[in-house]
Copies of this chain bind each other. A is one copy, B any other.
Amino acid sequence: MNIGEAAKASGVSAKMIRYYEASGLIPAAGRTQSGYRVYSDSEVQMLRFIRRSRDLGFPVEKIEELLALWRDRSRHSADVKRLAQEQIDGLERKISEMQAMMETLQHLADACCGDQRPDCPILVDLGSGPSFTTDHRPTKLGQFAANAVTARPRS
């Protein structure tokens, strides 16, 4: 199987397969004489594992740990469960932060008549500085949520 076929079979783009190889997440694939990468079924299975882990939101760093456990036949399932729970906790945290943003925005939007007049409580709130939801932590949440909202839905 060449990289294109492996990509189709695994759901991981050829580009990302090369990236995972270059960054050490997966071992370097075999090559044909002409330099084409060659993939076996088990390598495709590993790629599917990665793809599925990404679908569940695991960062590549954690997938490295998951892969190690996957390969380790004497693993403790507790270790896997712990990784999963950390991921759940992280998702929960982010979800509640975004929900807080959303609720604030919803309150503001509800209070905005949304017609031709310029008066707008949304702008008043934005301009009035710290309000009940602002805590002025220097966090990356803003970027995160912005990415969240602007990320391409499908390509």
By a beta-carbon cutoff of 8 Å, the part of chain A in contact with chain B is: 11, 13, 45, 48-49, 51-61, 66, 69-70, 72-78, 80-82, 84-88, 90-95, 98-99, 101-102, 104-106, 108-109, 112-120, 122-123, 125-127, 129-131, 133-134, 136-155
Question: Which of B52, B73, B123, B127 contacts A125, CB < 8 Å?
Answer: B52
Q: Tell me the interface secondary structure of chain A in the complex.
A: helix
Pair B126/A53 contact, Cβ less than 8 Å: yes
Contact of A102 among B91, B127, B154 (CB under 8 A): B91
The docked-state distance in angstroms from the alpha carbon of A35 to that of B108 is: 40
| Chain B residue with the shortest CB-CB distance to A60 | B146
Bound-complex Cα distance A112 to B94 (A): 24
Known: A91-B98, A105-B91, A139-B153. A126 touches B59 (CB 8 A): no
Nearest opposing residue in chain B for A129, CB measure: B48
Known contacts A55-B133, A146-B60, A149-B90; A155 and B127 CB within 8 A of each other: no
